[in-house]
Structure 1
């Protein structure tokens, strides 16, 4: 790790030691900076909201955008807090509504394929998932270009025992754990490169290119597919609800698993759109006609 990355890592540690009330004071400043001063990806956010909500008035979309930036600032500071947060505080901050939905599979010696999206605080969710079971927890992620930053954030994510698995190693790693109960967690709304997928499905009103890895692995292994919905109750507090989408994955039709978990996330976003990552360039690929 070079000097600049060491400075970043040390700065994250120092900020993470601040109490939550102080972090949210900083978050208020960060929101003003992102939204009013530098306008971080404002055009992307507006284009995405227009694509997803063409029937809403402009002022309605602007309100969603503003709420999104408020939440984004909070999430950035909460993610930094993950560097030093205690296990007890994590459990306090994310309530598990129905962990038995996952335990029923693990106790039957069945690995679980978990799915979530860039919704709520999915980063803090890594800590909570790691603390809910003694079984291995694999977090499938898309590697960053900056390997120093990737190392910093993966060290934070794995504090409570999670294993970070680069996307290209997913199948091999999951197969190496296939004979023991474990959880593999995927982000369902990652954007594939055009060479990585050719499957488009409707999502938020747009034909959207989707990874099919979850479906292919689930069908080949017959692992159950469970959705993890992290919702925000109030500032700094979340609840997680698990839903088994498919118990017998081998019996599903082609694209059934993919289209189902995409639709599940879409319905969640429509309920509280400000909690989704609207600054993500999600629709840069279009179907070839």
Structure 2
């Protein structure tokens, strides 16, 4: 099964980008207008994030989102045969000196990222653009053929992939390595009672605790890469240091800073975030008050 899927996708990846983007446009229209894939979720999330907008304004964002969404997968398929030259051309870091400075100091780095397109291009390009050992935490998928395919794809340029389900044990061999650890920190947590709660687009939202706790315990600098699109298929990243010494921050401050940067980034390019995932699937209740970390001392129920 793996070789059949891999062979078909590899041949597809050899097609020129203009043709692949034509396929993407057709699929995007199909998903939005015919299949209506998670359209209710997308529009519901947009209503939460942008209540001040008209329905027409949110629909425009939704339509652009679906094209970016299908572009993300089409570009990922292209990565199966993409050359190093292709990657360096398609993903550029605006201020790489941020990485260089921390590396020359002998320090590790955590990247706190978001579901902003195209994270697969960034994953493959990053090992080519930094001297760090690049480690990405991923969530295993049930289909073993597709998991094998993604492990091959994401590891082509040297990325080290660690399963989130075995993170603490899997990272042990790299504890004495000067690494850059990439964490997608905007995912919905497994349980709202094991989260930090704070406002995100004006609504109480749970954030996973792991990224902040790991950075504070080891005092690892945290960087937010603000990824944005310069034109279709071309991405850039502005590196913003969230904290040089997270151990010196009060609990919750790192997550608050990340939340602010992520929200600002989404507002600048709202169609580039993954609106199809259920980010607000947990509803705030007074029982979560102990986990409220906004700077104001009162929780929403008070």
TM-score range, shorter chain: over 0.9
Unaligned runs of 5+ in 1: none
Distance 2:169 2:32 in 1: 42
Measure, in 1, the Cα distance between the counterparts of 2:83 and 2:147.
Answer: 22
Q: TM-score, normalised by structure 2?
A: 0.90
1:264 Cα deviation (Å)?
Answer: 0.7
Q: How much has 1:177 moved relative to structure 2?
A: 2.5
2:75 is matched with 78
User: Whole-Å Cα distance in 1 between the matches of residues 126 and 173 of structure 2?
Assistant: 20
Cα deviation 1:235-262 (Å, max 9, x = unaligned):
1111111111100111011111112112
Structure-1 residue corresponding to 2:18: 21
Distance (Å, rounded) in 2 between the aligned partners of 1:174 and 1:225? 18
Aligned to 1:199: 196
Q: In the alignment, what sits opposite 1:168?
A: 165
Which residue, out of 149, 153, 158, partners 2:155? 158
CA shift at 1:173, angstroms? 4.0
For residues 95 and 47 of structure 1, what CA distance do their matches in structure 2 show?
Answer: 33
Aligned residue number for residue 243 of structure 1: 240
Unaligned stretches of 5+ in structure 2?
287-302
Kindly indicate whether residue 104 of structure 2 is the aligned counterpart of residue 107 of structure 1: yes
Task: Please give the alpha-carbon distance, in whole angstroms, between the structure 1 residues aligned to 2:95 and 2:242.
Answer: 15
Q: Which residue of 2 aligns with 1:215?
A: 212
Q: CA deviation at 1:195?
A: 6.6
> 1:174: how far off?
4.1
Cα deviation 1:167-216 (Å, max 9, x = unaligned): 23333444543333110001111111117723211112221111111111
Match of 2:45 in 1: 48
Distance 1:170 1:184 in 2: 11
CA distance in 2, matches of 1:196, 1:107: 39
1:49 offset after TM fit, Å? 0.5
Q: 1:123 aligns with which of 117, 120, 128?
A: 120
**So what's the TM-score if we normalise by structure 1?**
0.94
Deviations 1:3-32 (A, max 9, x none): 2x4322222111111111111111111112
- The answer to whether the aligner puts 1:272 opposite 2:294 as a matched pair is no
Instruction: Tell whether the 8 Å contact from 1:171 to 1:217 is kept in structure 2 after alignment.
Output: no
Instruction: Give the whole-Å Cα distance in 2 for the aligned partners of 1:167 and 1:41.
Output: 26
State how far apart, in whole Å, the 2-side matches of 1:248 and 1:173 are. Answer: 25
1:253 has 2:250 as partner: yes
CA RMSD of aligned residues (A): 1.5
Contact 2:64–2:271 at 8 Å: present in 1 too?
Answer: yes
Give 3-state SS (helix, strand or coil) of 2:59's partner.
helix
**Aligned positions, number:** 286
Note closer, same or farther for the CA distance 1:195–1:32 as it changes in structure 2 (3 Å cut): closer
Equivalent residue number for residue 180 of structure 2: 183
What whole-Å deviation, never above 9, does each CA across 1:230-287 have from its counterpart, x for those lacking one?
1001111111111111001110111111121121101100111000000011111122
Deviation at 1:142, TM superposition (A): 1.9
How far off is 1:144 after superposition? 2.0
Is 1:95 the equivalent of 2:97?
no
